[in-house]
Amino acid sequence: MAGVYRWMAFGLALTGIVAWAVTSSPSLLRAFYNYQDGQVVGVSGLFWIVGIAELALVWLFVPAIQRVSLPAAAGMFLGYCALSGVTFSVYLLTYTSASIASTLFITGGAFFGLSLYATLTKRDLSGMRSFLMVGLIGIILASIVNLFLRSSAAEFIISCCGVLIFAGLTAYDTQRLRALGETGEERHALVGALALYLDFINLFLFLLRFLGRRRE
């Protein structure tokens, strides 16, 4: 598992660095966001292109991992994390630095606790897979519907379910990846790192809906 966590840490660090770079550079801000009277009023076409490329890359990563060279696989993983940093920058513009830092700390603690539980428990967590997959599809569909409904009650329920689903996925993926991590194959480490990276990021984002304080 050391390789999995190493790649995951690289990915998270790269996402954070890119997000910070975007929000700290006036030229990058104007490239990815639309301004009116000196204020950000929306995202640019380039931002949407990056978002689409991000989704395409994550869907292509697992099928391609066995067909491409190891450097190419590592490049795909890090490229995805860098693209995620661009889209993640919107949260740095929306929420205060203090609330992001505190939510990140809580997410890290929760992730550590869930990973430790998955490592030490004698319970087989594979039975959770079907429930978690159905729940994940459910919150994706509900989130799409709520884009049109704009219901605060639905938003709250979706956020609660999102925290529970990704907490469960963190524990499930950690236990599932332990055997793969022990093989020592770097390709397995990259696949595992992507799974845990996505669990961590999504757990953080759903917690941020509760704990984040919007900028004035």
The answer, yes or no, to whether residue 200 has pLDDT greater than 80, is yes
- Identify the residue with better confidence: 114 or 63: 114
How many Cα atoms are found within 13 Å in the side-chain-facing hemisphere of 56? 6
> What is the residue-averaged pLDDT of the chain?
90
Q: What is the mean pLDDT of residues 58-73?
A: 86
130: left (phi over 0), alpha (psi -120 to 50) or beta: alpha
Q: What is the pLDDT of residue 180?
A: 65
The domain limits of the chain are 2-211
The answer, yes or no, to whether residue 184 has pLDDT greater than 60, is no
Q: What is the pLDDT of residue 126?
A: 85
Please give the Cα distance from 142 to 75 (Å, whole number): 33
DSSP-derived secondary structure for 53-121 = HHHHHHHHHHHHTTTS-HHHHHHHHHHHHHHHHHHHHHHHHHB-HHHHHHHHHHHHHHHHHHHHHHHH-
Please give the Cα distance from 107 to 99 (Å, whole number): 12
Residue 189 — pLDDT band, cuts 50, 70, 90?
confident
Q: Residue 36: phi, psi to the nearest 5?
A: -145, 120
**Global pTM value:** 0.91
What's the full length of the chain, in residues?
216
The answer, yes or no, to whether residue 215 has pLDDT greater than 90, is no
The answer, yes or no, to whether residue 182 has pLDDT greater than 60, is no
Q: What is the pLDDT of residue 67?
A: 84
Pairing of strands 33-36, 39-43: antiparallel
Could you tell me what percent of the chain has a pLDDT over 90? 66
Q: What is the pLDDT of residue 216?
A: 74
8 Å CB contact between 29 and 22: yes
Tell me which DSSP letter residue 123 carries: S
Residue 176 — pLDDT band, cuts 50, 70, 90?
confident
Please give the Cα distance from 123 to 180 (Å, whole number): 18
Q: What is the pLDDT of residue 84?
A: 96
